[in-house]
Amino acid sequence: MANLIDGRAIAEKVYVDLRRQIAELKSKGVTPGLAVVLVGDNPASRAYVRSKDKMSRELGLHSVKLELPAMTTQSELLSRVEELNRDPAIHGILVQSPPPKQIDEAAIVRALDPRKDVDGFHPVNVAKLVSAAADGFVPCTPLGIQRLLLESKIDISGAHVVILGRSMIVGKPLALLLMQKNKDADATVTVVHSRSRNLEKITRSADILIAAIGRANFVKSEHVRDGAVIVDVGISRVEDATNERGYRLVGDVAFDEVAKKAAAITPVPGGVGPMTIAMLMANTVKACRQVL
């Protein structure tokens, strides 16, 4: 059976370091500030925002949770973002995705001050990731995956990493991050997606297979070679009459059958998810330090 990569335990290690940095900043009279903006009442988004706000407060950050009605207009949201851009007490801004359909999400991202874009999606930060500039912000889930691998003593350098999925949230930035020329990366990266031919052949060649397509239990035993490391980014609800909630959470990987072949694997929940929030906090502290 594979070694379990415990995202909660590794996130706790991140928080120990962050608490030290935050105490140091507060001793200089500065408190890192994070503003999370939620438009509408999507239940999953509301849960994410609540957990981000809760962790901000636990760490002693200045936390602002801005909940706007579902009918908020593009111009109203832009004006709230501009207020946060100008607010010196706010170092990081996150507008929860997805917004209601009347909102142009790309325009909102472009309106953020790149120095406060702790989600790492502003074109300036994407360019900094491409050029490996140290002062840019890397999207939180890719950054969390890299940290999971490093903390688990999994050698990324020279490894063949196959990423299932090409989104701007995970697949693309993760590929850019892991192929960088430095001691924490140096991987050979292949990105596969719904149009890829010979998918199983490619995924079976992976030393590290990262699934980020949002399709429950898609990755089966035949996709994985013996001894591979598996990182499962997906999270889906599947009906389960034996569960009191009527459903259970699963990832993109058919865990039970893949775990028998893998050297190490992340669970769902408790793997990548906790690291995403930890990296949001880390990016907020970094944003604060960079404006001192």
Per-residue pLDDT of the chain (292 residues; tens, 9 = 90+): 789 999 999 999 999 999 999 999 999 999 999 999 999 998 889 988 999 999 999 999 999 999 999 999 999 999 999 999 999 999 999 999 999 999 999 999 999 999 999 999 999 999 999 999 999 999 999 999 999 999 999 999 999 999 999 999 999 999 999 999 999 999 999 999 999 999 999 999 999 999 999 999 999 999 999 999 999 999 998 998 898 888 999 999 999 999 999 999 999 999 999 999 999 999 999 999 999 8
For residues 131 and 73, is the Cβ–Cβ distance under 8 A? no
Q: What is the C-alpha separation between 232 and 215, in angstroms, rounded? A: 11
State whether the Cα torsion 287-290-291-292 is positive or negative.
positive
Cα 109 from Cα 93, distance rounded (Å): 10
Nearest to 118 by CA among 103, 138, 89, 148: 138
Active-site residue identified among 52, 116, 172, 286: 52
Q: Is 119 a catalytic residue?
A: yes
Told to judge if 28 belongs to the known catalytic residues of this protein, a careful annotator would answer no
Residue 224 exposed, middle or buried by CB count within 10 Å (0-12, 13-18, 19+): buried
Q: 53, 117, 119, 207: which is the annotated catalytic residue?
A: 119
What's 226's DSSP letter? T
96 is catalytic: yes
Q: Residue 51 in contact with residue 65, Cβ under 8 Å?
A: no
Active-site position among 96, 128, 146, 232: 96
Residue 237 CB-half CA count within 13 A: 7
pTM: 0.96
